Chain A
């Protein structure tokens, strides 16, 4: 398939406001994609993905690298800074990429030399294979190789192709196609029930594969897909809620401690490998040797869901930042391990010894978890407790215990619920303590002054409103110098653009922020402002900031 044909359909989809029509257009795109290899890629490309979610191959191209490649392809005297300035003005890398005239650099192929390459138009396969080469470039000189490869793609692009290539490269497709759209489009294109597609997506975590299986083997093919030890699935997520909500909905609630740690998914095969994934399905195995050592004593193939918590010498929990210091570490693991100890706390069990447990009840899964870990040294310590109760006072007491032990509070779960990967449903509720804090996503920053000039000093905070983020305030107080260094490191990979001292960030990091009061205000796009905001900590629920709706509710109290 020509990349131009994909770009053309992407433009049709982007221009379509109605959800149902979007599904129809995506379904047509899938039907018209002839080869299976292309279908696999197209099913991911429409969501701005290049590789399957479970694959540890990540594109990981920073905006700056992309700007450099575009600048070079754009012709005479366009610099990466020029591209960045345009992105800051237009707010869309796609529109900026489409505004240049590419293709002025000729290749040696046109003169009968160079490596054999298609002089023809760019295909979906060309794009995929080149991005694969970009992802696999590492080591010294890899930055230049990445720019060279991206440049070669942009250089072959017409404006409309460039628009979607740039967005794909930066994983921000923004054509209104979400996971549900792709599910429904696969169902519609290949005439299979959406529920079967949904289940297949949950266990395989691979939109490309599911699209191909649906087309070639139909319902039977989809049913044959199952969990695989070593291939991560999306984590089930929780909403905010109260004990009252929980008991009203389910009569009986399963209560668990909520840890201030980082979510992990453990895949262990006694005859194969032990692998650990973050909640974004990034491999974190090498960073957590304690957990690997623990897992290696388990005698059955398993997939477990849990958290890692950092603890001090007395075994008391440390804040989430401490876990982060361990979590993303690639070097000096042993040294950091000495400084910060982590412990796993598992609360769910997705698979034991060839048996998928997604469809079984929460209480049954917890019983299986206890059984598996009871046979392991330290297994009791690594199993998170679960209490069933219909008594609000008992729930209060468990909450008080959790807080006294230094944890965040409690989770309330529906005892009969099945495990729904990637879903933020009402079956799991997280009860937050009633203090005046908000979880805000950081969407901007300003460079500091004086001795803090090398670090970000002020952070622009936003809350979620549907798919969008609306600003609500700036925080600069409550942050130590040491934390500023860490926060700068944490946020720098997410810089979209810079102009003067102001930095535009992609929404990726969530701060817990304390405040005195929420006021209505014309200063920020949310229509509200936080009075006396102060930084408390980086939140582990990195993709779950508070919503504008909650802000409204809090302001009315």
Chain B
């Protein structure tokens, strides 16, 4: 059983943050809300998303599991204006999702969850440094690095207490430092890791500029990047494995 009414903006934010990594996903319809976990085909970047029942106008579910084609569902959600409400209802018999937006009715065929790539385990990481900053600063860092390179180094200088971004191109370099004053919060610790911008650019697309984003970092360790949406009733966590520094 699954029946819910949700604002188009909330649903779209949730779907977009997953679709930057995968085309299809499993959605767990739990009593207390829905959750999605997915990893990209190369097993490098993963997303863990939860959206509480409280984020919905109304929500009823009893622990089902559905598989969806994300771009389809995004297209349908895109038919609604951001203030509009979307009604979702699962037909258990036909395994189809009935979607209503105002007078528009759409019946979406679901995908067999068994045919979708296995859900990832969440690595248990003990990351020594924590950086809390505004989404627009993440955006600025990624954009600047992308101008010169396809890799980005993120780190924390624990002696001088600042967070930095480095990108080295064939000819040009980019360096950005953000101190305690520029950040919302900084817990210093030894941290320096190199990441592929291919992934970080995609993840960045899902980060709203005015959101508080937390980055947990270590030395040559995955980054854990998380933020809330839907007035704090939704939570997205990304994890991205590092690249080995060649020099």
Instruction: Compute how far the CA of A106 lies from the CA of B223 in the bound complex, rounded to whole angstroms.
Output: 12
- In the assembled complex, A389 has its CB within 8 A of some CB on chain B: no
Q: Among the interface residues A75, A79, A140, which one has the most CB atoms of the partner chain B within 10 A?
A: A75
Point out the residues of chain A lying under 8 angstroms from B119, CB to CB: 115
State whether B42 touches A113 (Cβ < 8 A): no
Per-position binary interface string of chain B over residues 215-247, scored 1 when its CB falls under 8 Å from any chain A CB and 0 otherwise? 000000110000000000000000101111010
- In the assembled complex, A145 has its CB within 8 A of some CB on chain B: yes
Instruction: Compute how far the CA of A139 lies from the CA of B123 in the bound complex, rounded to whole angstroms.
Output: 31
Chain B residue nearest to A153 (CB atoms) is B42
Name A93-107 residues within 8 Å CB distance of B: 101, 103-107
Query: Which one of A105, A106, A112, A139 lies within 8 Å of B121 (CB-CB)?
Result: A112
State whether A106 touches B42 (Cβ < 8 A): no
Name B107-127 residues within 8 Å CB distance of A: 117-125
Point out the residues of chain B lying under 8 angstroms from A111, CB to CB: 123, 125, 221-222, 241
Chain A residue nearest to B70 (CB atoms) is A141
Instruction: Compute how far the CA of A137 lies from the CA of B39 in the bound complex, rounded to whole angstroms.
Output: 16
State whether A108 touches B244 (Cβ < 8 A): no
- Minimum Cβ distance to chain A for residue B44 (Å): 6
- Minimum Cβ distance to chain B for residue A75 (Å): 6
State whether B23 touches A115 (Cβ < 8 A): no
Per-position binary interface string of chain A over residues 130-174, scored 1 when its CB falls under 8 Å from any chain B CB and 0 otherwise? 000100010111100100110110010000000000000000000
- In the assembled complex, A77 has its CB within 8 A of some CB on chain B: yes
Point out the residues of chain B lying under 8 angstroms from A112, CB to CB: 121, 123-124
Query: Which one of B41, B46, B151 lies within 8 Å of A77 (CB-CB)?
Result: B151
Query: Which one of A77, A103, A148 lies within 8 Å of B149 (CB-CB)?
Result: A77
- In the assembled complex, A114 has its CB within 8 A of some CB on chain B: yes
Query: Which one of A72, A77, A115, A142 lies within 8 Å of B43 (CB-CB)?
Result: A115
Point out the residues of chain B lying under 8 angstroms from A178, CB to CB: none
Chain B residue nearest to A136 (CB atoms) is B115
Per-position binary interface string of chain B over residues 119-162, scored 1 when its CB falls under 8 Å from any chain A CB and 0 otherwise? 11111110000000000000000000000011100000000000
Instruction: Compute how far the CA of A104 lies from the CA of B247 in the bound complex, rounded to whole angstroms.
Output: 11
State whether A75 touches B246 (Cβ < 8 A): yes
State whether B222 touches A77 (Cβ < 8 A): no
Point out the residues of chain A lying under 8 angstroms from B244, CB to CB: 103-106
State whether A77 touches B243 (Cβ < 8 A): no
State whether A152 touches B41 (Cβ < 8 A): yes
- In the assembled complex, B52 has its CB within 8 A of some CB on chain A: no
State whether B42 touches A115 (Cβ < 8 A): no
State whether B239 touches A141 (Cβ < 8 A): no
Name A416-470 residues within 8 Å CB distance of B: none
State whether A107 touches B44 (Cβ < 8 A): yes
State whether A108 touches B123 (Cβ < 8 A): yes
- In the assembled complex, B71 has its CB within 8 A of some CB on chain A: yes
State whether A117 touches B43 (Cβ < 8 A): yes
- Minimum Cβ distance to chain A for residue B200 (Å): 13
State whether A113 touches B222 (Cβ < 8 A): yes
Query: Which one of A75, A137, A140, A149 lies within 8 Å of B243 (CB-CB)?
Result: A75
Query: Which one of B149, B196, B221, B222 lies within 8 Å of A72 (CB-CB)?
Result: B196
Given known contacts A76-B150, A116-B118, is B43 in contact with A109 (CB within 8 Å)? yes
State whether A155 touches B239 (Cβ < 8 A): no
- Minimum Cβ distance to chain B for residue A407 (Å): 48
Instruction: Compute how far the CA of A77 lies from the CA of B71 in the bound complex, rounded to whole angstroms.
Output: 30
Point out the residues of chain B lying under 8 angstroms from A18, CB to CB: none
Point out the residues of chain B lying under 8 angstroms from A404, CB to CB: none
Chain B residue nearest to A78 (CB atoms) is B150
Point out the residues of chain B lying under 8 angstroms from A139, CB to CB: 23, 69, 71
- In the assembled complex, B198 has its CB within 8 A of some CB on chain A: yes
State whether B246 touches A133 (Cβ < 8 A): no
- Minimum Cβ distance to chain A for residue B6 (Å): 24
- In the assembled complex, B40 has its CB within 8 A of some CB on chain A: yes
Instruction: Compute how far the CA of A270 lies from the CA of B95 in the bound complex, rounded to whole angstroms.
Output: 33
State whether B243 touches A108 (Cβ < 8 A): no
Point out the residues of chain B lying under 8 angstroms from A140, CB to CB: 71
Instruction: Compute how far the CA of A5 lies from the CA of B239 in the bound complex, rounded to whole angstroms.
Output: 34
Given known contacts A149-B41, A155-B42, is B151 in contact with A108 (CB within 8 Å)? no
Point out the residues of chain B lying under 8 angstroms from A137, CB to CB: 23
- In the assembled complex, B168 has its CB within 8 A of some CB on chain A: yes
State whether A105 touches B44 (Cβ < 8 A): yes
Instruction: Compute how far the CA of A141 lies from the CA of B73 in the bound complex, rounded to whole angstroms.
Output: 14
- In the assembled complex, B170 has its CB within 8 A of some CB on chain A: yes
Point out the residues of chain A lying under 8 angstroms from B45, CB to CB: 108
- In the assembled complex, A397 has its CB within 8 A of some CB on chain B: no
Chain B residue nearest to A133 (CB atoms) is B41
Point out the residues of chain B lying under 8 angstroms from A106, CB to CB: 44, 241-244
- Minimum Cβ distance to chain B for residue A129 (Å): 11
Complex A-B, nearest 4 residue pairs according to Cβ-Cβ distance, in ascending order: A113-B123, A152-B42, A148-B41, A111-B123
Between A and B, 21 residue pairs with Cβ closer than 8 Å are A72-B196, A75-B243, A76-B168, A77-B150, A103-B244, A105-B42, A106-B243, A107-B44, A108-B45, A108-B123, A108-B222, A109-B43, A110-B241, A111-B221, A111-B241, A112-B123, A113-B125, A113-B239, A114-B123, A117-B43, A140-B71
Contacts A108-B39, A115-B39, A151-B42 aside, 15 further interface pairs with beta carbons under 8 A come to: A75-B243, A77-B150, A77-B169, A79-B150, A103-B244, A106-B241, A107-B43, A107-B44, A111-B222, A111-B241, A114-B46, A114-B120, A114-B123, A115-B120, A148-B41
